[in-house]
Amino acid sequence: MKTNPNTKTEITFEDFKTEVINDYKLAVTSRECSLLGRREVLTGKAKFGIFGDGKEVPQIAWAKAFENGDFRSGYYRDQTFMMAIGELTIEQFFAGLYANTDLSEEPMSAGRQMGGHFATHSLDENGNWKNLTEQKNSSADISPTAGQMPRLLGLAQASKIYRNVEGIDTTNFSKEGNEIAWGTIGNASTSEGLFFETINAAGVLQVPMVISIWDDEYGISVHARHQTTKENISEILKGFQRDKDTNGYEIFRVNGWNYAELIDTYQRAAKVARKEHVPVMIHVQALTQPQGHSTSGSHERYKNKERLAWEAEYDCNAQMRQWMIDNNIATDEELSTLEKEIKKAVRDGKKAAWSAFINPMKAEKTEVVSLLESLEKSSSNGVFISKLKNDLNAIDEPIRKDILSTARKALRYVISETSNEKIALQDWIDNYIEKIQPKYSSHLYSESESKAEYQSEVLPTYNADATEVDGRVILRDNFEAIFNNYPEALVFGEDAGHIGDVNQGLEGLQEKFGELRVSDTGIREATILGQGIGMAMRGLRPIAEIQYLDYILYALQIMSDDLATVQYRTKGRQKAPLIVRTRGHRLEGIWHSGSQMGGILNLIRGIHVLVPRNMTKAAGFYNTLLESDEPALIVECLNGYRLKEKMPNNIGKFKTPIGVVETIKEGEDITLVSYGSTLRLVEQAAKELLEVGIDVEIIDVQSLLPFDLNHDIVKSIAKTNRVMVIDEDVKGGASAYILDQILNEQNAYQYLDSQPKTLAAKPHRPAYGTDGDYFSKPSIEDIFEAVYDVMHETNPNDFPKLR
């Protein structure tokens, strides 16, 4: 062989040999990490292990085709690839296994994710973009199988946008759209709907996406015959193959133990995807799992002797080794020496990682032991404190739980004592929690200067003769301003392109800004969401439209598992400031007027949830979010597009602040808290209540996450001494969330003279038609009567029983 598999330029046999040997070294290093990693779990030093053994060689071939600027979206088997691109050392591998919370030791997630979940840093320590074109990039993994697929689509589509849309500053993100988004998935996970949805969408969009399927015939214990029709994913996906007349995929099939063929395949795949923006599928077959699926079980339970013998023979590292000997690249002896050296290097790396993990905690233990020693002497409960101290001291390799729980328990023995030693321990505990808690809880939201909360309000302003227009016109004109102001902004969704969305909030914008920036998509909510995540991770400002709130459930898993956790799971080193636009509430029928707000709120902590009551407020939220670096969901009122609103004269500029409530009617008797479409009913009920002498105060929450950052609601309750939360979700949903915030975060209980109430919808889905709505959701009469009842209870003389 005379060609370097990487560059295809003429090289000497010696150079070639060196490259192969280096590749083999890496394969063996990765394998040794897996073997030792399993031992660390079985001996109790780490909690769980899932490794890349049996998948080493294809990942080395892949890494050779992976260039700066490219992105990976993969899963837990990809450790060899991460090592090959220089983004995972032996020490870091073990730091991940131990859950080291120091980002400089464990750069994947600072110990937040279990080992095998990989990431690179797209942001610096201040949350600013690094130059992604000068580094190899890996979007942060998530555990749900196939959950990496929707995001992969967006990572690939970003290249298409950067190549074809003019006016975007590409400096940090793209070189003419030449970047490939590389995906990996296990054979069994291709059974997931997300896989099929993504494959189809990438074929439609023709984006530079290369998906590798690591096929080891199993998904934990379940064989391919239960997973895949014909037991062969590339066989059944043959119809996606492009031909001279149609778009589609290039599909390759290659054995995972064949080093030379793998290198050739990955080079060919890269060429097609990078240059032509054609998606590629590489079915890497005949892979193995030398240690079984994970540390949780053993594969001898479900693989027969023949299969196990075959796996031993076709182990990709073993095959590569034999191939090297057969082709005079190295002798058996030379390789054995090399393998021994690697074993030692991995052992040393493991030891270093363990010391880095445990030493800081040993020091923390010493601090507490010494504090307890002093406390024991000064306390009448010294015997008990001494026992706690000795128990802690006996733990050679303590974790933070051991240390902190001992300190906290010790404090209980000195509850009724006063001493400097007690104060010292109290201070230590407070400082420790303050220092340590963020290691586990920071970065659920952005901590950068562009945090959405920092955006201050800019009010809409009006000409004296401002006209009243349909709400959707304000939204449309505001979107037009957004696309003019932000070349990197784009919107896509079902019917969002040609007709400008089902309610015409994007009317005419495709003509003005082109099909790439204002586009129609297939009916595929999960990948619409994923498209947004991937593009946002590469510096674009996507607005992903989910046609109706009711259908967000299809995308909710990806919002919850992926989008909501991006900042958190990377400790602020990746972000996806995606805006999800949807519309809902109060129209007609079970699937066009639902309000799953409680479910949404509780599942997507990490994403802002905004519920504007009209289109001016909604437009202001879009303007706010585009100036910030965080993801958000905006729920527009489905019945508000044709309601009249005054046209502001500062379209594109006014901003609705997030986390700020608005008092829309002042009153003395009771505070009514609501949001969105329901407010219109609350306002009407308020007018009618005034007729019987009840003067309510109405607060529009506007922003459910974050919630009333200034604690204005409790100020209102301090005045009225009564509160009712009204919404159209089921009982225990959003209204319960709001009441919890008011009672537990704002301590409103101290001002209450009446029981705090919630008024919500019936537990079933809303029935069809006007009567369906009337008998399913809180009506004006329901609100009137619920409020009246509270006042009757307070003052039955002035407010005699109504019914």
Ligand X SMILES: Cc1ncc(C[n+]2csc(CCOP(=O)(O)OP(=O)(O)O)c2C)c(N)n1
- As annotated, the active-site residues are 592
> Which window, 142-150, 273-281, 328-336, 627-635, contacts ligand X (CB under 6 A)?
142-150
Q: At closest approach, how far in Å is the CB of 269 from Mg ion?
A: 21
Residue pair 36/350 in contact (Cβ under 8 Å)? The answer is yes
Nearest CA to 646 out of 470, 403, 458 is that of: 470
- End-to-end Cα spacing for the chain: 94
In the shown chain, the binding pattern of residues 228 to 257 toward ligand X, with x for contact by CB under 6 A and - for none, equals ------------------------------
Torsion angle of the four alpha carbons 293, 299, 304, 305, in this order, in degrees rounded to the nearest 10: 110
Q: For residue 621, report the phi and psi dihedrals to the nearest 5 degrees.
A: -65, -45
Stretch that binds Mg ion, among 178-186, 260-268, 457-465, 532-540 (CB under 5 A): 178-186
According to the binding rule CB under 6 A, does residue 143 interact with ligand X?
Answer: yes
Shortest approach of Mg ion to residue 146 CB, angstroms?
12
Minimum distance of Mg ion from residue 76's CB (angstroms): 11
Tokens standing for residue 635: 């729920």
Q: How far is it, in rounded angstroms, from Cα 557 to Cα 560?
A: 5
Shortest gap between Cβ of 186 and Mg ion (angstroms)?
4
Does residue number 188 form part of the binding site for ligand X (CB under 6 A)? yes
Q: How many CB atoms lie within 10 A of CB 243?
A: 7
143 binds, among Mg ion, ligand X, none (CB under 5 to 8 A by kind): ligand X
Residues in the chain: 803
Residue with smaller CB distance to ligand X, 75 or 266:
75
Nearer to ligand X, 548 or 554 (CB): 554
**Residue 88 exposure: Cα atoms within 13 Å on the Cβ side:** 29
Q: DSSP string covering 105-132, please?
A: T-TTTTTSSPTT-----SB-TTS-B--G
For residue 151, give the H/E element and its range: helix 148-164
Binding mask 210-239 for Mg ion (x = CB under 5 A): ------x-x---------------------
To the nearest whole angstrom, how small is the minimum distance from the Cβ of residue 198 to ligand X? 14
Q: Total number of residues binding Mg ion (CB under 5 A)? A: 5
For residue 510, the partner it binds in ligand X, Mg ion, none, with Cβ less than 5 to 8 A by kind, is none
Binding to ligand X (CB under 6 A) within 507-526 occurs at: none
| Residue closer to ligand X (CB basis): 221 or 485 | 221
Give yes or no for residue 62 binding ligand X (CB under 6 A). no
Q: How far apart are the C-alpha atoms of 800 and 792, rounded to whole Å?
A: 6
Cβ neighbours around 123 below 10 Å, total:
19
CA 753 – CA 721 distance, rounded (Å): 5
Show the 3-state SS of 500-524: CCCCCCCCCHHHHHCCCCEEECCCC
The count of residues interacting with ligand X (CB under 6 A) is: 14
Minimum CB separation of residue 460 from ligand X in Å reads 44
Output 299 or 581, the one with its CB closest to ligand X.
299
CB 168 within 8 A of CB 545: no
Q: Which does 548 bind (CB under 5 to 8 A by kind): Mg ion, ligand X, none?
A: none
Q: Give least dist CB 145 to ligand X, A.
A: 4
User: Quick one: 143 or 650, whose CB is closer to ligand X?
Assistant: 143
Candidate segments 89-97, 162-170, 186-194, 507-515, binder of ligand X by CB under 6 A: 186-194
Cα 13 from Cα 1, distance rounded (Å) = 7
Out of 145, 455, 671, 776, the only residue in the binding site for ligand X (CB under 6 A) is 145
Binding mask 272-301 vs Mg ion (x if CB under 5 A, - otherwise)?
A: ------------------------------
Bridge pairing between strands 280-285 and 209-214: parallel
Interface stretch with ligand X, choices 21-29, 80-88, 180-188, 352-360 (CB under 6 A) = 180-188
**Side chain identity at residue 623, one-letter code:** N
Judged by CB under 6 A, the chain residues 262 through 301 that form the site for ligand X are 293
Q: What is d(CA 284, CA 211) in angstroms, rounded to the nearest whole number?
A: 10
Q: Tell me which of Mg ion, ligand X, none is bound by residue 189, counting a contact when its beta carbon lies within the kind-specific cut-off of 5 to 8 angstroms.
A: ligand X
Q: Which pair of tokens denotes residue 115?
A: 């080992």
- When asked if residue 565 is in the footprint of Mg ion (CB under 5 A), the reply is no
Note the Cα 206 to chain centre separation in Å.
25
Kindly tell me which of 297 and 693 has the beta carbon lying closer to ligand X: 297
Radius of gyration of the chain (CA): 30
Match 């240390």 to its residue by tokens.
Answer: 403
Pick the binder of ligand X from 49, 111, 127, 186 (CB under 6 A).
186
Structure tokens that stand for 713 in this block = 């609601």
Residue 50 vs 638, nearer CB to Mg ion: 50
**Residue 189 interacts with ligand X (CB under 6 A): yes or no:** yes
- Minimum CB distance to ligand X, residue 147 (Å): 7
Instruction: For Cα atoms 658, 660, 665, give the angle at the middle one, nearest 5 degrees.
Output: 135
**In the complex with Mg ion, which residue's Cβ is closer, 118 or 554?**
118
Cβ-closest residue to ligand X?
186
Q: Which is nearer to Mg ion, 188 or 717 (CB)?
A: 188
Percent composition of the chain: helix, strand, coil (DSSP 3-state, to 5): 45, 15, 40
Per partner kind, with CB cut-offs from 5 to 8 A, the member of Mg ion, ligand X, none near residue 145 is ligand X
Our finding on whether 187 is near ligand X (CB under 6 A) is yes
Alpha-carbon gap, residue 692 to 707, rounded angstroms: 32
Smallest separation (angstroms) from Mg ion to the CB of 92: 25
Give the residue at shortest CB distance from Mg ion: 186
Cβ burial of 423 (10 Å; 0-12, 13-18, 19+) is exposed
Contacts with 373 (C-beta within 8 Å, 6 or more apart), sequence order: 389
Closest CB to Mg ion among 187 and 716? 187
Instruction: Report whether 160 contacts 78 (CB < 8 A).
Output: no
Q: Can residue 195 be called a binding residue for ligand X (CB under 6 A)?
A: no
Partner interacting with residue 293 (select from ligand X, Mg ion, none; CB below 5-8 Å by kind): ligand X
Stretch that binds ligand X, among 214-222, 237-245, 472-480, 483-491 (CB under 6 A): 214-222
770-793 burial, b for 16+ CB within 10 Å, e for fewer?
eebbeebbbebebbbbbbbbbbbe
The CB-of-43 to ligand X minimum distance in angstroms stands at: 23
Near Mg ion by CB under 5 A: residue from 186, 532, 539, 640:
186
Q: To the nearest whole angstrom, how small is the minimum distance from the Cβ of residue 289 to ligand X?
A: 7
Q: How many CA atoms lie within 13 A of 302 on its CB side?
A: 15
Cα 742 to its chain centre, rounded Å, is 28
Residue 328, C-beta contacts closer than 8 angstroms, at least 6 positions apart: none
Question: Which listed residue (30, 178, 187, 198) binds Mg ion by CB under 5 A?
Answer: 187
Interface with Mg ion (CB under 5 A): 186-188, 216, 218
Q: Which chain residues interact with ligand X by CB under 6 A?
A: 77, 143-145, 186-189, 214, 216, 218-220, 293
